[in-house]
């Protein structure tokens, strides 16, 4: 998600260590970057960026989406703004970006072009059967327009991945290519069951001194 002024993952606040950015779904309709390391800041150490599904309507290389460490070019050269010997960048979906511009890292070992980072061209599928050229979201079939016109009232459950014919919704004509492609064998992107549970589960029952309960997280 992003505010009107933007929301960026970067390393500028300090000398970060042991950061894990995993199982996120990033859906943008503008030029917000998937990751923006800062060349003027200290390198992020032991940084892991994996199982992330990122889509954007922006295709402007360097100034637009993707991994950009200004003023470097998008992709491999920008990845050098983190500590590469301890870097993990793998099992991601970077829709609309170019595979040859990126190097994946697994415990500091680089591979170019990537073998576990996927680069589908479009968000919406032409029909209702997903393939490697589109994402396979439950809400974006038959050429449905992305981004949605109204983000405020948009149901984020439309960003779930199809897992098979009629699953998890009847419109799915098959499983997304990324439904079991994460590093842990699950779907790349957020786990919507866990997300929904986190918004409704109760955290604790408060004692009488603080007013009863249970209270939501």
* Pair of tokens at residue 151: 């983000």
Whole-angstrom distance, CA of residue 55 vs CA of residue 125: 13
- DSSP lists the bridge partners of residue 55 as 27
Predicted pLDDT at 6: 56
Rounded to 5°, angle at Cα 24 from 88 and 126: 110
Residue 200 has pLDDT above 80, yes or no: no
CB-based contacts of 185, cutoff 8 Å, min separation 6: none
Predicted pLDDT at 208: 59
Predicted pLDDT at 5: 47
* In the chain, % of residues over pLDDT 70: 80
Residue 191 or 4, more confident: 191
Predicted pLDDT at 215: 61
Predicted pLDDT at 2: 42
Residue 208 or 128, more confident: 128
Q: Read off the pLDDT of each residue in 37-51 and give the average, rounded to a whole number.
A: 83
Is residue 96 left, alpha or beta, with left meaning phi > 0 and alpha meaning psi from -120 to 50? left
Summarize pLDDT for 11-41 with one digit per residue, the tens. Answer: 666 677 888 999 999 998 776 778 878 766 6
Summarize pLDDT for 71-109 with one digit per residue, the tens. Answer: 888 899 999 989 999 999 999 999 989 999 999 999 999
Residue 4 pLDDT level (bands cut at 50, 70, 90): very low
Summarize pLDDT for 114-149 with one digit per residue, the tens. Answer: 999 999 999 999 999 999 999 999 999 999 999 898
Residue 180 has pLDDT above 90, yes or no: yes
3-state per-residue secondary structure call for the chain: CCCCCCCCCCCCCCCCEEEEEECCEEECCCCCCCECCCCCCCCEEEEEEECCEEECCCCCCCCCCCECCCCCCCCHHHHCCECHHHCEEECEEECCCCHHHCCEEECCEEECCCCCEECCCCCCCCCCCCCCCCCCECCCCCCCCCCCCCCCCCCHHHHCECEEECECCCCCEEECCCCCCCCCCCCCCCCHHHHHHHHHCEEECCCHHHCCCCEEC
Residue 100 or 200, more confident: 100
């Amino acid at each position: 998600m992003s505010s009107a002024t933007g929301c960026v993952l970067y390393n500028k606040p300090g000398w970060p260590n042991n950061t894990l950015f995993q199982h996120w779904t990033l859906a943008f309709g503008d030029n917000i970057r998937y990751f923006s390391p800062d060349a003027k800041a200290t390198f992020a150490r032991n940084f892991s960026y994996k199982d992330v599904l990122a889509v954007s309507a922006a295709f402007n290389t360097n100034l637009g989406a993707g991994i950009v460490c200004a003023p470097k070019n998008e992709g491999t050269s920008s990845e050098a703004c983190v500590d590469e010997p301890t870097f993990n960048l793998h099992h991601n979906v970077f829709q609309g970006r170019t595979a040859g511009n990126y190097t994946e890292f697994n415990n500091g070992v680089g591979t170019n072009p990537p073998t576990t980072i996927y680069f589908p061209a479009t968000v919406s599928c032409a029909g209702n059967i997903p393939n490697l050229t589109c994402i396979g979201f439950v809400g974006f079939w038959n050429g449905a327009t992305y981004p949605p016109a109204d983000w405020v009232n948009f149901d984020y459950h439309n960003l779930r991945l199809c897992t098979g014919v009629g699953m998890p919704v009847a419109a799915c004509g098959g499983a997304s290519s990324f439904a079991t492609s994460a590093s842990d064998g699950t779907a790349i992107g957020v786990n919507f069951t866990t997300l929904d549970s986190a918004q409704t589960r109760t955290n604790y029952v408060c004692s009488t001194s603080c007013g009863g309960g249970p209270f939501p997280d």
